[in-house]
Amino acid sequence: MQVLKGRGISKGVAKGEALVMRQTFSFLGGVDPETGIITERGHEFEGESVTRKILVFPGGKGSTGGSYALMEMKEKGVGPKALINTKTETIIAVGAILAELPLVDQLEQDPIQAIVSGDTVEVDGDKGLVKIF
């Protein structure tokens, strides 16, 4: 097991399968809020589900509506379990807080390099830790 230290942004602890994206991501228009399927044309994971995954991505993009889209996905049971960013911006931070999803960023090692899709990962937003199993 590898433990990476970072900055906890949204509290909570979640463990699950990682989905590692190399592209920035928007929850408004980038994913179907009814199904959790990535719909952004040309995205490396277009057609894949974010449901119950630990999403690892550089950061967000798009409008503030993405915060509410993330909360809506959580309420419908199709959202991710937790988020890990290289550097979080406001839209993703607010969305994670509203949806009560653990969120960690600014890890001591680039999470996009350290984590591989399919890895089991635990995100501890309280302590700012990411465990890779």
Give CA–CA dist 122/77, Å, rounded.
19
Residue 26 annotated to the active site: no
50-108: pLDDT as tens digits: 999 999 999 999 888 999 999 999 999 999 999 999 999 999 999 999 999 999 999 99
| pLDDT beyond 90 at 112 | yes
Q: Which residues pair with 31 in a beta bridge?
A: 38
- Tell me the one-letter amino acid at 85: N
Specify the CATH number of the domain 2-132: 3.50.30.10
Q: Cα separation of 16 and 22, whole Å?
A: 19
The pLDDT > 90 percentage for the chain reads 95
Provide the whole-model pTM. Answer: 0.96
Cβ 98 vs Cβ 69: under 8 Å: no
Q: What does the pLDDT read at residue 83?
A: 98
pLDDT at 64: 84
Q: What is the pLDDT of residue 70?
A: 95
Half-sphere exposure of residue 93: CA atoms within 13 angstroms, side-chain side: 10
**Model confidence over 23-39: pLDDT tens digits?**
999 999 999 999 999 99
Which is catalytic among the residues 10, 26, 49, 63? Answer: 63
Q: Which has the closest alpha carbon to 80: 62, 93, 68, 96? A: 96
